[in-house]
Amino acid sequence: MKSNYKKLGQFIAQIDKRNSDNAINYLRGVSSVFKSFIKSKANMVGVDLKKYKVVNFNQFAFNPNTARMGDKIPIALNLGETCVVSSIYPVFEISDLEQLDPEYLMMWFRRPEFDRYARFYSHGSAREVFGWDDMCEIELPVPTIEKQREIVRKYNLVDDRIALNEKLTLKLEDTAQAIYKQWFVDFEFLITKEYAQSIGKPELEGQLYKSSGGEMEYCEKLEADIPMGWQQYNLEDLVERVCVGFVGVLHSSYCREKMGVRLLRTTDLTDQGMRYAANKFVLPEFHNKNKKSQLKHGDILVARHGSNGMPVIYDREDEANCLNVIIVKPSQNRMSSKLVHLFMKSDPAVDQVRGSLHGSVQSVLNTKIVASMKLPYFNKESINHVDSAVFSKIQKIIEEVRKEVDSLSRLRTLLLTRITKA
């Protein structure tokens, strides 16, 4: 053990304050993935919160039951308003803030080595537990408080930049979705120069189609008016193909990152985009054998379980494969990848999927449901009404921002590893 390593127990004290007056109804769980407090998923109807533990600012809480938590231990530092947590969660605080900084300690808890340590030292026959006494036995480097705060400052600079970029990505996604609705649902798209000239009204270039008197016709299949020259299509008519990736359970094909090819699973699909940090990797032999589930940049992955499948664009250039997901491969000369993605996330598309799953016990999507999703779109033979390149441009900006997030995330991980050298 290095000379500056000390046992955590000498710096922390357990807190057991109960919500006895029921003054606090802000119930929170603890995330193992993000190491933060999250909205509780428990059904709280009729539940009395008097026995729940109170967690004040700068206090920690963790779930001692590690048996079902996978590779990460749920622990969080409260940097927000006072909340309550389950009575089984140990709550503690740092006794002397001039000896140990709470955010510095939280950085230590975010290290993968801490999770491995906690899992290794978990014990018990009926269930595995990493309890309060085990927490006190943790050894960590404790430099001067000035050094700790400097480390935290550098970490927070990177963390804040990541959060800012993630907010920017969400705004870009919201903007793209709003434009999609205006153009392809409300039919208020900007008239292209090509179309304006084709109807002998060049002065309409750049005007909103429907508001400027653009011709509409009734579509019986959609039971609605759509622009002249448009018709109803199934999604499969506008894309290269809809298929399902490899379905099954993998064991022997998994390998280390440097040896294999990225594998994307349902757990890697989120509402905020593809999550790459926790990807598994498979042997090249598996990747080469399963060509149907090979991915290329711009492919869209759809979870087979859930209300709308969380369609997510694969926005990497490197080779990848997928497991237990539906793949939509766009035809860029007909409907761009981003445009397909926006359609699949739109309210009309989500309503169609929910209607197809009505009465289903497990709500499992299949390729037939996805392929038959219906949308209005202009005929291939007609003059292009819409300059949809704007969607590809937005997607390119999103990808550049996410690349920066990836780089910053690696830097953040590096800062966590350097704590051991503090």
Q: What are the structure tokens assigned to 280, written together?
A: 């598994």
> Which residue ranges of the chain lie beneath pLDDT 70?
1-3, 67-70, 125-126, 306-309, 358-363, 382-384
**What's the confidence (pLDDT) of residue 365?**
84
Q: Residue 248, class by beta-carbon neighbours within 10 Å (0-12 exposed, 13-18 middle, 19+ buried)? A: exposed
- CA 123 to each of CA 65, 68, 133, 418: distance values in angstroms, whole numbers, following the listed order: 10, 13, 12, 29
Q: What share of the chain is helix, strand, coil (3-state, %, to 5)?
A: 35, 25, 40
Q: Are strands 59-62 and 53-55 parallel, antiparallel or unpaired?
A: unpaired
Those residues whose C-beta lies under 8 Å from the C-beta of residue 373, and which sit 6 or more positions away, are 234, 235, 343, 344, 349, 352, 353
Q: Which two tokens stand for residue 192?
A: 């292209």
User: Residue 207 is encoded by which pair of tokens?
Assistant: 């005007």
| Residues 218-255 pLDDT 10s | 998 888 899 988 999 999 999 999 999 888 878 778 89
CB atoms within 10 A of CB 147: 14
**In 47-83, which positions are buried (b, 16+ CB within 10 angstroms) versus exposed (e)?**
eebeebbbbeeebbbbbbbbeebeebbbbbbbeeeeb
Residue-wise DSSP of 163-194: HHHHHHHHHHHHHHHHHHHHHHTS--PBPPHH
Token representation of residue 143: 């430099």
Ordered structural domains, the chain, with CATH: 5-142 (3.90.220.20), 231-377 (3.90.220.20)
Q: Are 92 and 18 in contact (CB under 8 A)?
A: no
Are 107 and 29 in contact, with CB atoms under 8 Å apart? no
Angstrom CA distances, 124 to 116, 119, 127, stand at 17, 12, 5
pLDDT value, residue 67: 67
For 93-120, write each residue's pLDDT tens digit: 999 999 999 999 999 999 999 999 998 8
pLDDT at position 1 is: 47
- Directed axis angle between helix 337-345 and helix 145-184, to 10°? 90
